[in-house]
A and B are shown apart, each in its own frame.
Chain A
């Protein structure tokens, strides 16, 4: 029935595949042994001796395979191993939130020890596993993206109780990206429902603003001069909102189908959305907007990239010191037509070709971290002119085989690398790294 979907020339497994399988198997066994003996064994021993039957026994952590096959709702309080945590965000250096997946159903998990242990907070989220997540405090959080509803909507969901309950924000219908600073929340929303048959190739975009954590909303004084495609996707990432201050923000739109370059645009507001400026596009021919980040209102880092292929993607980093009015090519992967400079890694994909917008973390005008999907983590300390692989991560067991990884920093020294299916690593000094939950 589905023979027409087959690879006409499937590859035969090679010695490299065999070696990779055994390496992954060994890593799984190590994690399972650590979890089983260190957590379950020691935990049961201590609990059994000290507490006995007085305290109800906690459910044991489900392994990644169990979660992948799990069909029901994960129970509140259920421990979840770090291998199954995806999209982790940390409102402070100890508390974090993330998603985990059981048979396509996303659950919210939380940590209060910097990421060492995670427990289910809400196992019945109103979103799929590819949703985006942000928390600005222990109480206020936001969920958006994922698979659209039957009516073509992609709502924003808001919580004010640490994720236990979620309410749909009265905006949309297609919320593409969200950024919150305290209770001041901005959401970029497409004004057309997603539709595979009637979807507009260019749909106007609104900026919705809330000053009370997402309870009440109003349109910005001026709409950003942007359009996005309303063709459906599993995770609507047509827009990236990079907010620098309460009033300053950059909004980047992509061309999801590669058919309408007019959709690609970078705009800027310095007055809370009362006015917008379209900024020049520095990307070379065949390169397109990929990720934007900054350390201040004028200091910008912009990655342009080619379409991904076979695990690699040509990339070029541009820097601007005047809020995007002028750009300087700073480093590249060395792919035509750009000269090779700076050692930017070709391996791995960056947004929007990877889920979310957490591939590039800028912690100062000089320092930034890059974690392309399916690649390694790289660091620069000279403003992006040279990049090097983070050896401290490799020494801590980081493998670079996971997909849709994130690199996030709560401040200049406290950061996390999340490699879904493999684990989470933390640094508290921006130099040495420790794998969590092991």
Chain B
């Protein structure tokens, strides 16, 4: 976590860029698109830096996730290099389902699931970022994952144990 009001945007750039790229790549699976989303996320972060500098990571994760999902929906699946991707990306179907499933989660569940599992934050960090208790995070994570599981288990991308363990 960056966590200081005195941190300059330029000093945080690399860490935040990596974070935005990782989250968007998990959804998009496309390097060029993920770089584009990371750039757009960082640009928006910069315009809001005065109020984000203390704790920008959660905002970066949420915006990059929304941009990635929006990008996926707007592009349609063949805007990814489908003929090539079918050869190099074994997780294309899972990414498609993941984007759709996350996009349909209620707002709070979506925030928790994205921070907890797309950004790999601890429950304590998620609770801190969302200003709620770890128990609340646990409940939203359980419910959100249950909905993701309904979509992803069929693809083999999310095992039942993952859901139970989080609950």
Contacts and interface: CB of A to CB of B under 8 A. Distances in A.
Interface of A: 1-7, 10-13, 17-18, 20-25, 27-29, 32, 65, 68-69, 71, 86, 101, 103-104, 128-130, 147, 196, 233-235, 237, 254, 256-259, 307-311, 349, 352-355, 373-374, 401, 403-404, 420-421
B17 A17 contact: yes
B73 A128 contact: yes
A268 to B, nearest CB: 24
A5 B74 contact: no
Given A2-B26, A20-B39, A103 B107 contact: yes
Nearest to B42: A21
B100 interface: yes
B76 A355 contact: yes
Nearest to A258: B83
A24 B40 contact: yes
A83 B59 CA distance: 21
A28 B32 contact: no
A196 B93 contact: yes
Nearest to A106: B73
A71 B46 contact: no
A253 B67 CA distance: 30
B4 interface: no
27 contacts: A5-B91, A10-B25, A13-B17, A17-B35, A21-B43, A22-B43, A22-B46, A23-B43, A25-B43, A32-B47, A69-B63, A103-B66, A128-B73, A130-B76, A233-B78, A234-B75, A234-B96, A235-B73, A256-B82, A307-B82, A308-B81, A352-B76, A352-B78, A354-B75, A354-B79, A403-B71, A420-B74
Contacts, number: 165
B22 A258 contact: no
B75 A18 contact: no
Contacts of B73: 104, 128-130, 147, 234-235
Residue in B26, B31, B77 whose Cβ sees the most chain A Cβ within 10 Å = B77
A235 B66 contact: no
Nearest to A235: B76
Main DSSP-derived SS at the A contact region: loop
Contacts of A128: 73
Given A86-B74, A104-B69, A309-B81, A421 B44 contact: no
A353 B79 contact: yes
Given A233-B77, A307-B84, A68 B63 contact: yes
Given A6-B25, A373-B79, A374-B36, 4 more contacts: A12-B18, A28-B44, A68-B63, A258-B83
Interface string B10-49: 1001100110011001110101101110111011101110
B8 interface: no
A355 B100 contact: no
Nearest to A254: B78
Contact of B82 (A68, A257, A421): A257
Main DSSP-derived SS at the B contact region: helix
A21 B46 contact: yes
Interface residues of B, number: 61
A104 B68 CA distance: 11
B51 to A, nearest CB: 12
Nearest to A309: B81
Contact of B86 (A25, A65, A258, A404): A258
A20 B62 CA distance: 21
Nearest to A237: B76
Contacts of A23: 43
Contacts of B86: 257-259
B70 interface: yes
Nearest to A404: B74
A404 B75 CA distance: 7
A286 to B, nearest CB: 10
Given A13-B18, A257-B82, A7 B39 contact: no
A149 to B, nearest CB: 13
A128 B72 CA distance: 12
Interface in B70-124: 70-79, 81-84, 86, 91, 93-96, 98, 100, 103-104, 106-107, 117-118, 120
Residue in A20, A147, A259 whose Cβ sees the most chain B Cβ within 10 Å = A20
A401 B79 CA distance: 16
A401 to B, nearest CB: 8
B154 to A, nearest CB: 8
B130 interface: no
Contacts of A353: 78-79, 81
B43 A101 contact: no
A146 to B, nearest CB: 8
B14 A13 contact: yes
